[in-house]
Amino acid sequence: MKNEILLESGTNELEIVIFKVGDLSLGVNVAKVESIITHQKITGLPNTHPNIKGVINHRGRVLPVLDMANTLNKECGKNEQERLLILMYINNSDFVIEISEVVGIKRLSWDQVETPSEILTMDNETPATGVVKLEDEEVVLILDFEKILADMDQNLSVQKTSITSGLEGRKLVVAEDSSFLLEVVNDSFVKAGAKVEKFSNGKDALTYLESVNIGEIYCVITDIEMPVMDGLTLTKNIKENPNLRDIPVILFSSIVSDGLVHKGKSVGADAQITKPEIDKLVSLVTNITKKS
C-alpha cells in the first residue's frame, strides 16, 4: 500500500488510513501500512501481554497481532470473522492490528492535524499524537503507536542513551509530536551535556530558528510525522533558507526505511535514523557538531 500512493516531499501532505475500533474513528499514516487483509486464524500464545491476541502466519511470516479493542478499552462491535487486519511496520518492527472496519484513505495537509488536548489523552487509554476534524464533523484520532508498543515491550521503545558526554554546552532543537518520546530524547541529549529546545511540531521549531542567533544552534533533530508542519517540510524550509541551511538536520522517525529514505534526501536532510536507535542518534549528533 505504501508504494501505491506517491506524495512529493516537503509539501506538508500525508495520506492516512481511517479505520474504526467500535465507534472510535482512528487514523494511521499510510507510510506505516504494508497491507490490509481479511481476518485469518490467530494463534494464541501463553504468557504474553494482554493486548497481544496472538500471532498469524502471513505468507511465511509469523506476526504478532495487537488487539486494538482491548488496547483502547472499547467493544469491537464485529464478529471475529468480520474484522480486518492491518499489517504495519514501525520502529523496525512488523506487527498486525485487529480492527472493526476500514473507512477509507484520505489525503490531508499536516496543518489540518491538530495537537490533541490533554483532556483527550489524560486517561492514557487512547494515546494520540493528532486530531483531524473531517468535513462531516467526525473527529479522527491519529494514534501514538510508538507509545502503544512501548507500553507492551520496552525493547520496542526509544531508550535513554548510555552516552554521558560529548555535547557539553551545545544547543539542539528537537521537534517530536509524541510527548512520551520527546521527553526520552530530551533526557538523552541532556545526559550527554546538551541544551535542548523542544517543540511538538515543525512550524514552532521553524519559527524559533528564524528568531534566534543561528550560531548558537548546532543541530536540528526532527520526527517526520507531526501536526501543523511535518519534518520533511521543516527540513525543506531550513535548507532553502540562506540563513539556516548550514544547520545540520537529522530525521529521527519510525518511518525512515530503505523504501522511503529518498524523501529525506530530496529535502536535504543531512542524516536519517530509524527509531528507536537513540545511542546511534546521540553519537551521530556529536560527530556532526564536532565538524561545525
Report how many domains make up the chain: 2
Is the Cβ–Cβ distance between 94 and 55 less than 8 Å? Answer: no
Q: Give the separation between CA 292 and CA 282, rounded to whole angstroms.
A: 16
Shared domain check, 205 and 134: no
Residue with cell 507509545: 147
Shared domain check, 134 and 261: no
Residue with cell 495537537: 115
* CB-side neighbour CA atoms (13 Å) of 255: 24
Domain hosting 143: range is: 13-154
For residue 272, the tally of other CB atoms under 10 A from its CB is: 20
5 is a domain residue: no
The pLDDT value recorded for residue 206 is 98
Torsion of CA 125, 100, 109, 14, to 10 degrees: 100
Shared domain check, 205 and 111: no
Shared domain check, 146 and 55: yes
* Residues sharing a CB contact under 8 Å with residue 248, sequence separation 6 or more, in sequence order: 218, 219, 220, 270, 271, 288, 289, 292
166 is a domain residue: yes
226-241 pLDDT, tens per residue?
Answer: 999 999 999 999 999 9
Element (DSSP H or E) covering residue 166: none
Helix 179-191 and helix 278-290: axis angle, to 10°? 50
Shared domain check, 216 and 192: yes
| CATH of residue 32 | 2.40.50.180
The dihedral through the CA atoms of 162, 202, 255, 101 has a sign that is: positive
Shared domain check, 64 and 148: yes
Domain stop point among 123, 154, 185: 154
Is the Cβ–Cβ distance between 173 and 212 less than 8 Å? Answer: no
Domain stop point among 120, 154, 188: 154
Domain stop point among 139, 154, 169: 154
Shared domain check, 204 and 117: no
pLDDT of the chain, 292 residues: tens digit per residue: 444 444 567 789 989 999 999 999 999 999 899 999 999 999 999 988 999 999 999 999 999 999 999 999 999 989 999 999 999 988 778 999 999 999 999 999 999 998 887 655 545 567 888 899 988 778 999 988 888 887 887 665 666 677 778 899 899 999 998 887 888 899 999 999 999 999 999 999 999 999 999 889 999 999 999 999 999 999 999 999 999 999 999 999 887 766 667 888 899 999 999 887 788 899 999 988 544 4
Question: Cα angle vertex 53, ends 48, 56, to 5°?
Answer: 105
Which residue, 3, 182, 216, is CA-closest to 89?
3
Shared domain check, 176 and 49: no
48 is a domain residue: yes
